[in-house]
Amino acid sequence: MPFTEFLPFIFVIAVVYGGLEVSDVFKNKVVKFIIALVVAYFASTTPQVSVFITQFLPLAAIVFVVVFLFGFVYKVFQKGGNKDWPLIAVVIAIGFIGLAQFQGSLSPYLNNLPIDQNNFLAIVLIVGFIALLYAAYKKT
């Protein structure tokens, strides 16, 4: 199976199995996997579906990473009290600044900085990642 058919196959298995797992229609995990396998086989053998999923996968990966990060931040701060809100605010602010910089909407305002836009984005993301790691370490 070529690479252009393998990735959509695995993606459809994951999405269908995850949907069946969340909906809890079937209790047996083997039945869920067989259904996901059959749907993925039919999807990967249809050229239009394979092309669509191959073009959609980069966007889906970005969406999944963002959803995972929001879920991670929520889980980290779920049991915390009001003392954690300043750190949450910092992480959210860093995230919005990073996203805005990534989209280029802050570019006219940041032209006078001594670093270029790519380095600024990297610094913002590294600081945000360190803040998340610190928050996760603090909770354990």
Q: In the structure, what pLDDT confidence band is assigned to residue 83 with cuts at 50, 70 and 90?
A: low
pLDDT of residue 30: 93
94-98, long-range: CB within 8 Å, 24+ apart, which pairs? 94/124, 94/127, 94/128, 94/131, 95/128, 97/124, 98/124, 98/125, 98/128
pLDDT of residue 40: 92
Count of beta carbons in the 10 Å neighbourhood of residue 119: 11
Under 8 Å between Cβ of 40 and 9: yes
Residue 105 has pLDDT above 60, yes or no: no
Encoding tokens for residue 17?
């199995």
Is pLDDT larger for residue 65 or for residue 84?
65
Under 8 Å between Cβ of 60 and 11: yes
Find the mean pLDDT for residues 70-95. 64
Encoding tokens for residue 113?
């900085």
| Average pLDDT over the chain, rounded to an integer | 75
CA distance 84 to 88: 6
CA distance 22 to 43: 21
Of 10-14, 85-89, 125-129, the poorest mean pLDDT is in: 85-89
- Rounded to 5 degrees, what angle do the CA atoms 69, 128, 81 make? 70
How does pLDDT run across 12-58, given as a tens digit for each residue? 899 899 889 988 888 899 999 999 999 999 888 888 888 888 888 77
- Map out the domains of the chain as residue ranges: 1-63, 79-140
CA distance 55 to 138: 40
